[in-house]
Structure 1
Amino acid sequence: MENQNNGKIIVGSLLVGALVGATVGVLFAPHKGKKTRKNIANSVKKTAKKIKSEINEDGQYLKDKASDFGNLIESKISTAATSFKDKANELLHNGSDHQMNKK
């Protein structure tokens, strides 16, 4: 969960940084409007690629963790089922011996 929150913070920071950078760029642009708009568009595209990359990394991390958790649960259930089966067989075996001794 902590990594998920860190991912949200990173994405939010990137968005705020892009917005501030674009605003400062427009206010202090030494170029004509057409060139400035092109620079802003390039900056937005670059930021979008960074955000997409972060989202993909976070998604892969969550996918890996979910898979690990699924494997752990599967292992625990298998162990519990084996233990239950062993105990049931033990009880059945002890029960049949007990009944035989009473007769």
Structure 2
Amino acid sequence: MENNSQKGKLVVGGLLVGAILGATLGVLFAPHKGKKTRKNISNKVKKTSKNIKNEIIDDATYLKDKAMEFENIIEDKMSQAVKSFKDKANELLHSNSDHLMNK
């Protein structure tokens, strides 16, 4: 079990090192000057963060809608249960009073 954990850590570590190395080499050998490259990176970071923000907002809206649907279902079920309990209680009260009258 520990062997798999160590292999997983090595894989993740290797991926991180590779990503950092790739990004560094990409910046060093970029076809544009430093200022242009930094601007391109900045624009891509802004665009990506905006996309992530929009996805989070969409997911939050979806979850909120689902929670409201669930709340409505629970309220309906609770109302049905309360009505059922009241009906049973009334039924028992009436059957008990009828039973007492017959004695």
TM-score, normalising length: structure 1: 0.73
Q: For 1:100 and 1:68, how far apart are their aligned partners in 2? A: 48
Identity of paired residues, percent? 69
Structure of higher CA gyration radius: 2
| Counterpart residue number, 1:100 | 101
Give the length in aligned residue pairs.
Answer: 84
Question: Which residues of structure 1 form unaligned runs of 5+?
Answer: 1-18
Q: Distance in 2 between matches of 1:34 and 1:49?
A: 22
Cα RMSD (Å):
2.1
Q: TM-score, normalised by structure 2?
A: 0.73
Q: Secondary structure at the match of 1:30?
A: coil
Give 5+ residue unaligned stretches, structure 2: 1-18
Higher RCO structure (Cα 8 Å, ≥6 apart): 1
Q: Describe the superposition over 1:29-67 as per-residue Cα deviations: whole angstroms up to 9, x where unpaired.
A: 211101110110000000001100111111111111111
CA distance in 2, matches of 1:25, 1:66: 45
Q: Which residue of 2 aligns with 1:59?
A: 60
